[in-house]
């Protein structure tokens, strides 16, 4: 049987690298869509793999530059995208990357005769209508549903790379949390989620898959675990949500891209976020690994 080809958009990111690795391990020829080839190299700060030697091809393109995406899907069977605005980039918004960038990629995929589009949005998107980032994701999901493309939408909870961010705060000795820290969620390791993403390439029809990790914690518990792994006595300050809302209002006024990223963090901290569990990798072990490299 001919080798299948998959385009991975967002290949240099946390999940994207694990997905490249998973597809390559399953025998797919992987074409990475990246803005900078060098960002595929080296182990990531949360141990995501170096994928420079795993990709068969690299298409250099930027979601905000439509012509740069031309030809990205030529000869491709499956498009997988976890491309999103991670951090502020010279005034670029989530709408431009998460929605319009992915829509441009979908148009390319349709023109190139791609068979399936696998897209990563978020779990509980319907409960976060005020988050710009979630809105941008869901506008793209609406485009996907309205298109002639067969699709799978993966809806994960939090990833271990976000837990790495909490670990970083704990390392500095003090964690500030919005809300009372009692909401529960089940974060998932990138390697576990990558299996769900690669499985989706062989789905039939249109599907949406909600997924979280194997263990459920409160926000307080995840931070206590980080302090424990570091051998530090815990210091957690809970801040009322209204302080976060006020900060978001001001930041969003002066810096919309940063506000759109922050709006997601606030939205998830105000609710329970427990999805059907999958995977075997434990947060405790991830924190131990992070602590070992400190």
Ligand X SMILES: NC(=O)c1ccc[n+]([C@@H]2O[C@H](COP(=O)([O-])OP(=O)(O)OC[C@H]3O[C@@H](n4cnc5c(N)ncnc54)[C@H](OP(=O)(O)O)[C@@H]3O)[C@@H](O)[C@H]2O)c1
* Footprint on this chain of ligand X (rule: CB under 6 A): 10-16, 35-36, 39, 62-64, 82-86, 97, 101, 120, 122, 156, 158-159, 161-162
The structure tokens 């420079």 sit at 52
Angle, vertex CA 161, rays to CA 123 and CA 76, nearest 5: 70
Residue 11 or 114 having the CB closest to ligand X: 11
- Nearest distance from C-beta of residue 89 to ligand X, angstroms: 6
CB-CB contact of 232 with 141 (8 Å): no
Other Cβ atoms closer than 10 A to 220: 18
Q: Residue 282: phi, psi to the nearest 5?
A: -100, 140
Give whichever of 127 and 235 is closer to ligand X, judged by the CB atom. 127
Rounded to a whole number of angstroms, the minimum distance from the CB of residue 111 to ligand X is 19
Q: Which residue's CB atom is positioned nearest to ligand X?
A: 13
Task: Quote the least distance from Cβ 280 to ligand X, whole Å.
Answer: 19
Identify whether the C-beta of residue 283 lies closer than 8 Å to the C-beta of residue 160. Answer: yes
Question: Please, is 96 exposed, middle or buried when counting C-beta atoms within 10 Å of its C-beta (0-12, 13-18, 19+)?
Answer: middle
34 or 170, CB closer to ligand X? 34
Which residue number, 162 or 228, has a Cβ lying nearer to ligand X? 162
CA-to-CA distance for 5 and 24, rounded, in angstroms?
10
Looking at beta carbons only, is 158 or 191 nearer to ligand X?
158
C-beta of 151: minimal distance to ligand X in Å?
15
Residue 101: which of 75, 139, 134 has the closest Cα? 139
Least Cβ distance, residue 1 to ligand X (angstroms): 30
């Amino acid at each position: 049987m001919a080798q299948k080809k998959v385009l991975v958009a967002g290949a240099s990111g946390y999940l994207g690298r694990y997905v490249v690795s998973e597809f390559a391990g399953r025998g797919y020829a992987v074409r990475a869509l990246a803005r900078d080839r060098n960002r595929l190299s080296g182990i990531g700060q949360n141990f995501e793999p170096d994928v420079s030697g795993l990709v068969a091809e690299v298409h250099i393109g930027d979601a905000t530059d439509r012509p740069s995406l031309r030809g990205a899907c030529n000869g491709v069977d499956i498009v997988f995208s976890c491309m999103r605005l991670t951090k502020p980039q010279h005034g670029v918004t989530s709408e431009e990357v998460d929605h319009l960038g992915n829509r441009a990629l979908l148009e390319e995929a349709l023109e190139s005769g791609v068979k399936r589009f696998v897209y990563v949005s978020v779990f509980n998107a319907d409960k976060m209508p005020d988050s710009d980032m979630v809105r941008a994701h869901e506008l793209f999901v609406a485009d996907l549903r309205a298109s002639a493309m067969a699709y799978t939408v993966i809806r994960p909870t939090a990833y271990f790379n976000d837990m790495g961010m909490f670990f970083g705060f704990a390392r500095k000795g003090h964690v500030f949390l919005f809300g009372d820290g009692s909401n529960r969620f089940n974060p998932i390791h990138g390697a576990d989620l990558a299996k769900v993403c690669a499985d989706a390439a062989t789905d039939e029809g249109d599907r949406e898959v909600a997924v979280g990790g194997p263990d459920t914690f409160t926000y307080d518990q995840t931070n206590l675990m980080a302090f424990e792994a570091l051998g530090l006595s815990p210091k957690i300050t809970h801040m009322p949500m209204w302080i976060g809302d006020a900060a978001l209002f001001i930041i969003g006024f002066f810096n919309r891209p940063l506000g759109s990223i922050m709006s997601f963090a606030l939205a998830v901290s105000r609710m329970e976020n427990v999805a059907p569990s999958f995977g075997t990798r434990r947060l405790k072990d991830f924190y131990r690994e992070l602590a070992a490299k400190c």
